[in-house]
Amino acid sequence: MPSLTRLTRAIAFPRPRRAELHHDVRLPEMDDDGVLMRTEFSTISRGTELDLYTGQMHGRGADAQWYPMLPGYMPVGIVEAVGARVQHVAVGDRVVGSNLFSGFDERYCPAWAGHTQQVVLSGHSHARLGGRRAVRVPAEVAPDQAGLGMLAGVAWHGVREKVKPSAGDTVLVIGQGVIGNFAGQLCRALGARVIVVDKHPERLAIARANGVADTLVYDGRPIKNAVLELTGGEAPHAVIETTGEMEPVRQALDIVRDHGRVQVQGMYMDPAPPDLLRSLLSKSLSLTATIAESPEYTAEALGLMAAGKITTAGMISQLADPHDAGMVYDELYRFPDRYLTCAFQW
């Protein structure tokens, strides 16, 4: 396939605490394994993007990311062109894209360039995967909700691969951002009893709207007694920690039963506590971690959404115009109780 040279609009972070819409961003090149999509909606990954928005870089070293950067990794749109070897999607299909790692406009750090009016997924931009990063969206999933399927894929990665709840297990989920919400729903769908905790009552209301009945407000005090009161004194079989903070991890290790499982699924900036191994050994615990998703996990999560086994009520607090990106990120940062996440409508 001939090289594609095209300019697109994209949301950029030119410096910390600043978001704006740029109009002349160069797309990566297409190839025979590539997919070009026109974006309809792009969903904000609140945890990752607010870290980058405020200058908390993800990765090792000061150069993990740099400004100006192009944030986001959940665009949903219509396929406009495919390479000669692409068979899994066709022109006209609605797809959700994914992380971009290279091949973009050299003026910007792609982190990960998902809030763009057009998206190229090719060997130039997505090493090894190319256009396979484009995942078809089932007709039963609303286009403005489909980007959430990627965050459901992140949660599914951890639940399916590490937590593996059985029918009758009790699972505690700490943190009710989108990933924590989906983690609770997925464990419930597998037959577990689920208890969720968050410091924002508004997020717990969204959890209840999506079918998780047992909710606890975290007020800064240890939550062990409140959890045991709900369970009649039975400690959870597993705890999933999604906040990215170390104090809830410490509490998870204390709350979970002997021989239980603790799964961490946040982005942890602080070092692990020095007594971590002692905590694990004293109760014969399993500590696991996952990050990100894959096209396969995203496709499976979208299938669960299409079947109604997981739902998205109240998760997208606002649909916004990309021109309003500065206001949207500022309000997401300042009002964590008001917004779970937002999406841009292109």
Asked whether residue 67 falls in the same domain as residue 173, the answer is: no
Asked whether residue 86 falls in the same domain as residue 193, the answer is: no
Cα distances from 271 to residues 196, 268, 275, 345, in angstroms, run 25, 8, 12, 38
What pLDDT, on the 0 to 100 scale, is given for residue 100?
Answer: 72
Cβ within 8 Å of residue 27, ≥6 positions away: 4, 5, 6, 7, 8, 104, 105, 116, 118, 119, 120
Asked whether residue 64 falls in the same domain as residue 125, the answer is: yes
- pLDDT of 255-298, one tens digit each? 999 999 999 998 888 888 889 999 999 999 999 999 899 999 99
Query: 213-229 burial by CB neighbour count: b if 16+ within 10 A, else e?
Result: ebbbebeeeebeebbee
Asked whether residue 162 falls in the same domain as residue 282, the answer is: yes
CATH number at residue 86: 3.90.180.10
Does residue 331 lie in a domain region? Answer: yes
Does residue 1 lie in a domain region? Answer: no
Does residue 306 lie in a domain region? Answer: no
- Considering Cα of 43, then 47, then 49, then 53, what sign does the dihedral take? positive
Indicate the pTM of the whole model: 0.95
Q: Which domain holds residue 179?
A: 149-289
Residues in the chain: 346
What pLDDT, on the 0 to 100 scale, is given for residue 60?
Answer: 62
CATH number at residue 257: 3.40.50.720
Asked whether residue 251 falls in the same domain as residue 137, the answer is: no
Does residue 308 lie in a domain region? Answer: no
Asked whether residue 213 falls in the same domain as residue 124, the answer is: no
Instruction: Name the residue type at position 114.
Output: G
Asked whether residue 253 falls in the same domain as residue 165, the answer is: yes
Cβ within 8 Å of residue 43, ≥6 positions away: 72, 74, 76, 147, 148, 150, 151, 316, 341, 342, 343
Asked whether residue 124 falls in the same domain as residue 175, the answer is: no
How far is 315 from 322, CA to CA, in rounded Å?
A: 19
Tokens matching residue 161: 């691969």
What pLDDT, on the 0 to 100 scale, is given for residue 133?
Answer: 95
What pLDDT, on the 0 to 100 scale, is given for residue 2?
Answer: 44
Does residue 298 lie in a domain region? Answer: no
Number of domains in the chain: 2
Asked whether residue 135 falls in the same domain as residue 166, the answer is: no
- pLDDT of 201-216, one tens digit each? 999 999 999 999 999 9
Count of alpha carbons within 13 Å of 208, Cβ hemisphere only?
12
DSSP states along 57-109 = --SSSTTSS-SSEEE---EEEEEEEE-TT--S--TT-EEE-----SSS-TTSE
Asked whether residue 162 falls in the same domain as residue 241, the answer is: yes
**Domain-ending residue, one of 243, 272, 289:** 289
What pLDDT, on the 0 to 100 scale, is given for residue 5?
Answer: 58
Share in percent of the chain as helix, strand, coil (round to 5): 30, 25, 45
How crowded is residue 273: how many other Cβ atoms within 10 Å of its Cβ? 14
Mean pLDDT for back-to-back runs of 10 residues, the chain (346 residues): 71 98 95 96 96 86 83 97 97 90 87 94 88 97 98 98 97 97 98 98 98 95 95 98 94 97 91 90 97 94 98 97 98 94 98
Does residue 29 lie in a domain region? Answer: yes
Asked whether residue 116 falls in the same domain as residue 163, the answer is: no
Cβ within 8 Å of residue 179, ≥6 positions away: 47, 151, 154, 155, 242, 265
Place of tokens 């969206």: 137
Asked whether residue 111 falls in the same domain as residue 215, the answer is: no
Does residue 61 lie in a domain region? Answer: yes
- Cβ atoms of residues 116 and 108 within 8 Å: no
